[in-house]
């Protein structure tokens, strides 16, 4: 089970500046745990102390915002592309 994860600039110091890394897991939670094992400290940047997705972080699994799917329980089939993106971007008025 190999998952591709796109890393935003803010988190690249954890990934030795890699913009794309691979991880394992059948759900987003498992993928985040796998990332944490490889890149210690990264998970706490994305998930708060209560284990919830941080308010200003968006995660997309296969281009779908996980807040519209099952959140951290969203399934991550083999080969899935995941993107972590700061939520502050974009918008108009």
Partner 1 sequence: MTLTAEPTTTLREGAFGRATELVCRECGTTRPLGPFYACHECFGPLEIGYDFGTVTREQIEAGPSNIWRYKALLPVPDDIESSPNLEPGFTRLLDARNLAAELGLRQLWVKDDSTNPTNSFKDRVVACALSAARELGSKVFACPSTGNLANAVAAAGARAGIPTVVFIPSNLEQPKQVNSAVFTEKLVAVDGNYDDVNKLASEIAGEEEGWAFVNVNVRPFYAEGSKTLGYEIAEQLGWRLPDQIVIPVASGSQLTKVHKAFGELIKLGLVEDKPYKIFGAQAEGCNPVATAYKAGVDAIRPVKPDTIAKSLAIGNPADGIYVLDIARQTGGAVEEVSDDQIRDAIVLLARTEGIFTETAGGTTVAVLKKLVETGVLDPELETVVINTGHGLKTLDAVSGSVGPYATIAPTYDAFSAAEIA
- Residues binding partner 1 (CB under 8 A): 6, 8-13, 19, 45, 54-58, 60, 63, 65, 67-68, 83, 85-93
Q: Is 35 in contact with 72 (CB distance < 8 Å)?
A: no
Smallest distance, partner 1 to C-beta of residue 41, A? 8
Smallest distance, partner 1 to C-beta of residue 74, A? 14
Residues 6+ apart with CB under 8 A from 32: 25, 43, 46, 47, 72
Cβ-based nearer residue to partner 1, 51 or 92: 92
Q: Which two tokens stand for residue 33?
A: 């745990």
């Amino acid at each position: 089970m190999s998952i591709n994860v796109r890393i935003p600039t803010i988190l690249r110091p954890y990934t030795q500046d890699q913009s794309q890394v691979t991880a394992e897991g059948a759900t987003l939670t498992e993928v985040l745990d796998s990332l944490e094992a490889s890149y210690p400290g990264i998970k706490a940047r994305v998930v708060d102390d209560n284990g919830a997705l941080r308010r200003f972080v968006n995660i997309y699994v296969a281009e779908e915002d996980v807040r519209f799917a099952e959140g951290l329980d969203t399934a991550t089939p083999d080969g899935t592309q995941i993107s972590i993106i700061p939520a502050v971007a974009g918008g108009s008025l």
